[in-house]
Amino acid sequence: DVVMTQSPLSLPVTLGQPASISCRSSQSLVYSDGNTYLNWFHQRPGQSPRRLIYKVSNRDSGVPDRFSGSGSGTDFTLKISRVEAEDVGVYYCMQGTSITFGQGTRLEIK
C-alpha cells in the first residue's frame, strides 16, 4: 500500500501569514499514463471534504488563488499565501491511483 505522510499534523497560523503543508508518499505517484494523481482536500467541522487541488497543482473552480499546490514524485506541498479565518479545518492529501489519504493537518488561527 502507498502510505501518505503529512506534516505538520497541527498548524497554528496568524491571520494574514503564509502556511505550508507537506505530503510525502512511500512511492512515486507518477502513474503509467504520465499523470500524478495527487489531490488536496479541505474539511471544515461538520462538513464533507471539499477538493481544492487536483493532479498536484490544478486549483478547483471557486478555490481562491491564495491556495497553491506543487511537487513531484513523492514530495508534495500545499501552500496558503495569506491565511484567512475561513481556512481553518483539516487538510488532507490523497493519492488517486490506489487511493490512500494522509493523516490530515489541522489548521487553526493563532
Binding site for another protein (CB under 8 A): 37, 39, 41, 48-51, 54, 60, 90, 92, 94, 96-97, 99-104
Residue type, 73: G
Please identify, using beta-carbon distances, which residue of 63 and 77 lies nearer to another protein. 63
Please identify, using beta-carbon distances, which residue of 14 and 58 lies nearer to another protein. 58
Is there a contact between 101 and 94 (Cβ–Cβ < 8 Å)? yes
Please identify, using beta-carbon distances, which residue of 8 and 18 lies nearer to another protein. 8
Q: If 0-12 CB within 10 Å is exposed, 13-18 middle and 19+ buried, where does residue 5 land?
A: middle
Q: Closest separation between CB of residue 17 and another protein, Å?
A: 25
Backbone angles phi, psi at 46, to 5 degrees: 80, 5
Name the residue among 79, 31, 90, 32 with its Cα closest to residue 55: 31
Q: Closest separation between CB of residue 82 and another protein, Å?
A: 25
Please identify, using beta-carbon distances, which residue of 57 and 100 lies nearer to another protein. 100
Q: Closest separation between CB of residue 15 and another protein, Å?
A: 26
H or E stretch covering 72: strand 67-72
